[in-house]
């Protein structure tokens, strides 16, 4: 079975909700999805054994959360080149974090990215549930 790892950093819980919805979409397509906070990724080995990686962070004062920055530095050593990737995040005003994560995954890690980053103000607004699940489904189709 294809496996995906969904890693998130959140401040208010909104990005965690998006991560869970993306995981639902992955599972709807028949993939296995594991959802963990970025702070739970302590070593390179924690990133091994997955076919797809989705990294997400809230944007806070124009930046991604520190736990996601730390996890990305670790992920750089994990040889994710060619793996399927995607990024996501919640934001209030500006929403830079998902784009920065996406560009890091694409250009530095050399991953096979799904369409651009998923950026939602809230999973409960404007069809956010469906958009997050669809992002998971799209990712699953690339690994199944």
* Domain CATH code at residue 60: 3.40.50.360
Cα–Cα dist 126/46, whole Å: 34
From first to last of its 144 residues, the chain has per-residue pLDDT tens of 999 999 999 999 999 999 999 999 999 999 999 999 999 999 999 999 999 999 999 999 899 999 999 999 999 999 999 999 999 999 888 899 999 999 999 999 999 999 999 999 888 888 899 999 999 999 999 999
Domain count, the chain: 1
pLDDT value at residue 69:
97
Tokens in use for 63?
């930046």
pLDDT value at residue 94:
85
Q: Which domain holds residue 130?
A: 3-143
């Amino acid at each position: 079975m294809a496996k995906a790892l969904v890693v998130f950093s959140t401040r208010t819980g909104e990005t965690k909700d998006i991560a869970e919805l993306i995981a639902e979409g992955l599972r709807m397509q028949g993939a296995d999805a594991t959802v963990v906070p970025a702070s739970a990724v302590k070593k390179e080995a924690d990133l091994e054994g997955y076919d797809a990686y989705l990294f997400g962070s809230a944007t806070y004062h124009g930046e991604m959360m520190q736990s996601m920055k730390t996890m990305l530095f670790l992920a750089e050593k994990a040889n994710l080149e060619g793996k399927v990737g995607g990024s996501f995040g919640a934001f209030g005003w500006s929403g830079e974090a998902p784009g920065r994560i996406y560009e890091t995954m694409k250009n530095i890690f050399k991953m096979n990215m799904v369409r651009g980053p998923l950026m939602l103000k809230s999973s409960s607004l404007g069809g956010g549930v469906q958009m997050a699940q669809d992002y998971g489904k799209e990712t699953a189709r690339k690994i199944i």
